[in-house]
Amino acid sequence: MNLKISVLFRAIPLLMGAICLGFGLYVKGMAIGDGYLIAGNVLMSLTAICIALFSTAATIIRQIIKRFTKADRIFYPILGYAAGIITFICGVMLFTSGDTSADIVSGNVVSGVGLIACCVATVAISSGKFSKITANSSNLTYGQPVTDGYSRGTYAVYYSIPIICTVIALIRGILLLADGSTPSLVAGHVMIGLGLICTCLIALVATILRQIQNTFGQQERWKWSIFVAVLGTVCLVWGILLMIPYSAAMVAPGFVLIGLGMICYSISSKVLLLASVWRRNAPLAKRIPMIPVMTALSCLFLAAFLFEASYANPNFFVPAHIMVGLGAVCFTLFAIVSILESGTSKS
């Protein structure tokens, strides 16, 4: 990877984050109804995921181009965690202090997005020794001790962060569904979907850590990839089932869950790539970055149809706008997968 390409791949997350932030501010600024407030708040919160993905991209790229410093090892994860924690706090403040249905729905969703950003930031901090993955794959046998790997304590802390975020998201989602009110049901379904994305990121963090520690075994090569793909399918099917008995309130969470399923599939491409190239030649690995491209296009084409439908039915307004932001996140994941492919390529 040359310097110009590295700059491009680092610019993509920032550009997608700027689109989410700008589009969100524009939609919220119109403030014509609750739908504008919900869509605007959620779109702006997606910027946190893009920032955390930028942290991951920068952490890996600067190792590939041999410019990674101790300051980078500290700065980029802090940037990602700051974006996630601030977003989470803003979401909590929104649904605890607000008294409208828009505040309840958007506040819970924004807090869930903050949890995802924290999980992505954990991917960044776990990738602080990304260069050892290729070295371990080429030079060590399974279980052979690694020099300068992570300590048991550090490994446990990194591994536990996405698990904690997942538990928080899923418990919050269950509590919202148990509440039974329409705003809580809407937020609850989406929060469960966000929790499933956090679960996918557990698989990604585990794969990175275990390859750095040289404990990634042959038997688990495809288990994590299948696990993430199954979670994406659960989101997709759940979203469709929500909308089969047509209900105005379930249109938005149904389509958003479909979009979250696309993000799960995008994450699966990263897990699949790392599994594919570990101690083996994988010529088709160069095609794996096409997965997030296809999911991004799926979100954007679906958004186009939803925008058209929203002229006749305002219930399609919120998912149409949010789907644009989810497409931006999928495209950002394309940049990350491309970086991983470059960093692990044996050619």
Contact call for residues 264 and 232 (beta carbons, < 8 A): yes
pLDDT of the chain, 347 residues: tens digit per residue: 777 888 999 999 999 999 999 999 999 988 788 899 999 999 999 999 999 999 999 999 999 998 899 999 999 999 999 999 999 999 999 999 877 889 999 999 999 999 999 999 999 999 999 989 988 888 878 878 888 889 999 999 999 999 999 999 999 999 999 998 999 999 999 999 999 999 999 999 999 999 999 999 888 888 999 999 999 999 999 999 999 988 888 999 999 999 999 999 999 999 999 999 888 887 777 899 999 999 999 999 999 999 999 999 999 999 999 999 999 999 999 999 998 888 777 65
Other Cβ atoms closer than 10 A to 106: 29
Q: Which tokens in the block code for residue 268?
A: 């699966």
3 state SS of 297? helix
Handedness of CA 245, 246, 252, 258 (dihedral sign): positive
Cα angle: 294, vertex 295, 298; to 5 degrees: 85
Distances (CA, A) of 35 to 103, 132, 219, 295: 11, 47, 47, 25
What distance in Å separates the CA atoms of residue 19 and residue 240, rounded to the nearest whole number? 28
Is residue 241 a contact partner of residue 255, using CB atoms and an 8 Å limit? Answer: no
* Whole-number pLDDT of residue 85: 97
Q: What is the pLDDT of residue 73?
A: 93
pLDDT digits (tens, 9 = 90+) for 54-68: 999 999 999 999 889
Please choose, from the candidates 78, 75, 79, 86, the residue with its C-alpha nearest in 3D space to the C-alpha of residue 114. 86
Give the pLDDT score at 347. 54
Please spell the DSSP secondary structure of 153-200, one letter per residue. HHHHHHHHHHHHHHHHHHHHHHHHHHH-SHHHHHHHHHHHHHHHHHHH
Whole-angstrom Cα distance, residue 285 to residue 150? Answer: 27
* Residue 156 in tokens: 């446990």
What pLDDT was estimated at residue 205?
A: 96
pLDDT of 346 reads: 60
Distance CA 232, CA 221 (A): 19
Concatenate the DSSP letters of all residues of 60-108 into one string.
HHHHHTT---HHHHHHHHHHHHHHHHHHHHHHHHHHHH--SHHHHHHHH
